[in-house]
Amino acid sequence: MARLALLSVSDKTGLVEFAKQLVEEFGFDIISSGGTAQTLKAAGLPVTKVSDYTGSPEILGGRVKTLHPRIHGGILARRDLPEHLADLEEQYIRPIDLVVVNLYPFEQTIAKPGVTLEDAIEQIDIGGPAMVRASAKNFANLTILCNPNQYGAYLEELRANGEASIAFRQNCSLQAFKHTASYDSAIAAYLEKQTEATSFTLTGTRIQELRYGENPHQSAAWYQTGAVQTGWAAATKLQGKELSYNNLVDLEAARSIIAEFTNDDPAATIIKHNNPCGSAMGATISEAYEKAFNADSTSAFGGIVALNRAIDVSTATALTKTFLECVVAPGIDPEAQTILQAKQNLRVLVLPDLSNGAKENIKQIAGGFLVQAADDIVADPNSWQLVTEKKPTPEQLAELLFAWKICKHVKSNAIVVTQNRTTIGVGAGQMNRVGSAKIALDQAGENAKGAILASDGFFPFDDSVRTAAAAGISAIVQPGGSMRDNDSIAAANELGIVMVLTGIRHFLH
């Protein structure tokens, strides 16, 4: 008797060619349901509809098609048990040798703007997961394929061995259970957001093994969340070595900063060890990059660059003048791409949507993990308090906004000094705010005169204000909220410094 294959897929990539080879090269009979059957018939392939095979029509608008003993009996029967084989014969059920199933596009559906709960519910597959799980359980007797990228390997197994090996079938079973687990997790995560959630579900599909983690003795891998490629999984790497763990961490830090300037003038940032060593805006993207580079050219060596405009010839030429690890931009001109090819090891990525970041931050701790909403609040100077006698000029207010946007993405305690929409001093990750201020102001040097200072947290005392004034700072932006805010404001008034309070803190640990 011919071998029997059940094909019922949402993703029809490569389906017709695969089914054709099953039939013509290996003599399979095919049963299929719904749109899959229509696709195969339209291609001229012999196929029996599931409803004809079971003798039961599809009902409830297609909600019930394959939930039938002739289907699940053929999948679950053990060929080594005479009583199972007797049941099949008595019920006129053929054993199924191959099941090819992938599931309704639930994740693609919920990714669409304006999707309703009703829309999402209708994309929850029932019969598909039942068949996948039943087939995966019985891998000793049949093969389950749930991804088109498995078709070629299965055909090679048949050509080499006449049938799929047990090792191949077991691996397919593992992939199938991962497939249904990821699918169920996506549904649970979506439904959690519709209610008061008491659990948090996170699943990912491995994109690639990484050479190592932060250090060579640490193993690491890169996972994509969701079936729809977004974020870095949607980036195109045009050239360069494989991305490392540290590259990806720094690229995300660079993306998060440049996302602040999506709708602004040309902007560039250079990241080193997860902090910006130089960030700037300019009339052109080339000018923005040159300003960011010159802000701290020493630290920029081996850095990660993010741009909010496509890379043009002028910018590409500038990028080749120093050693950089990665460059990411929303696009690149063909001539610029040719120029960058001279730097073969430079990783060049195109990510059209640099603003699409994670909605939650997740951090593991012993015995569990922490989840918080992403710090994606948009700065609104109209909500800021102008608390000093001296008020900011329009030019100062624009500079304060620039400094505040950058300071948000510097490790706490964070102090950023800027002038002419360029960072000239960055104090990051110190154990006290005075230490961060000293580092930033020392780096700025004489350029601090007339510059802007931003602090990610409030000043607990007025010492940082006095230090800033002594360096020549003209205006300060900080969240406020200290019991001693009035001391800092009084010091600013005494020293003739503008101070604005944002009411928003941006700690970054």
Which pLDDT tens digit goes with each residue over 310-355? 999 999 999 999 999 999 999 999 999 999 999 999 999 999 999 8
Rounded Cα gap, residues 506 and 406, in angstroms: 10
Fill in the DSSP letter of residue 319. H
Rounded Cα gap, residues 303 and 250, in angstroms: 9
Place of tokens 């209708």: 122
Note the pLDDT of residue 60. Answer: 79
| Alpha helices (H) along 224-332 | 245-258, 285-295, 297-300, 313-319
For the record, the structure tokens of 224 come out as 């994509």
State mean pLDDT over 255-271.
95
pTM, two decimals, is 0.74
Note the pLDDT of residue 92. Answer: 86
Least confident range from 219-228, 254-263, 264-273, 475-484: namely 219-228
3-state class (DSSP) for residue 200: coil
Q: How do 267-272 and 275-281 pair as beta strands? A: antiparallel
Q: Are 5 and 22 in contact (CB under 8 A)?
A: yes
Average pLDDT of the chain is 90
Note the pLDDT of residue 228. Answer: 67
Least confident range from 24-28, 89-93, 267-271: namely 89-93
pLDDT in tens, 463-499: 999 999 999 999 999 999 999 999 999 999 999 999 9
Q: Are 495 and 468 in contact (CB under 8 A)?
A: no
* CA 392 remoteness from chain centre: 39
Least confident range from 107-111, 242-246, 466-470: namely 107-111
Q: How do 29-32 and 143-145 pair as beta strands? A: unpaired
**Maximum pairwise Cα distance, the chain:** 97
Neighbours of 369 (CB within 10 A): 11
pLDDT in tens, 112-142: 787 787 777 877 777 788 889 999 999 999 9
Q: Are 276 and 423 in contact (CB under 8 A)?
A: yes
Q: Are 39 and 17 in contact (CB under 8 A)?
A: no
Amino acid letter, residue 235: A
The residues annotated with a catalytic role in the active site are: 137, 273
Q: Where are the beta strands (DSSP E) in 282-383?
A: 303-307, 324-329, 347-350, 360-365, 368-373
Fill in the DSSP letter of residue 95. P
**Predicted confidence (pLDDT) at residue 227 exceeds the cutoff of 70:** no
pLDDT in tens, 355-408: 888 888 989 999 888 988 899 999 999 999 999 999 999 999 999 999 999 999
- In the chain, pLDDT over 90 holds for what percent of residues? 59
Burial class (CB in 10 A: 0-12, 13-18, 19+), 127: buried
* CA 234 remoteness from chain centre: 8
Q: Is the peptide bond before 447 cis (omega within 30 degrees of 0)?
A: no
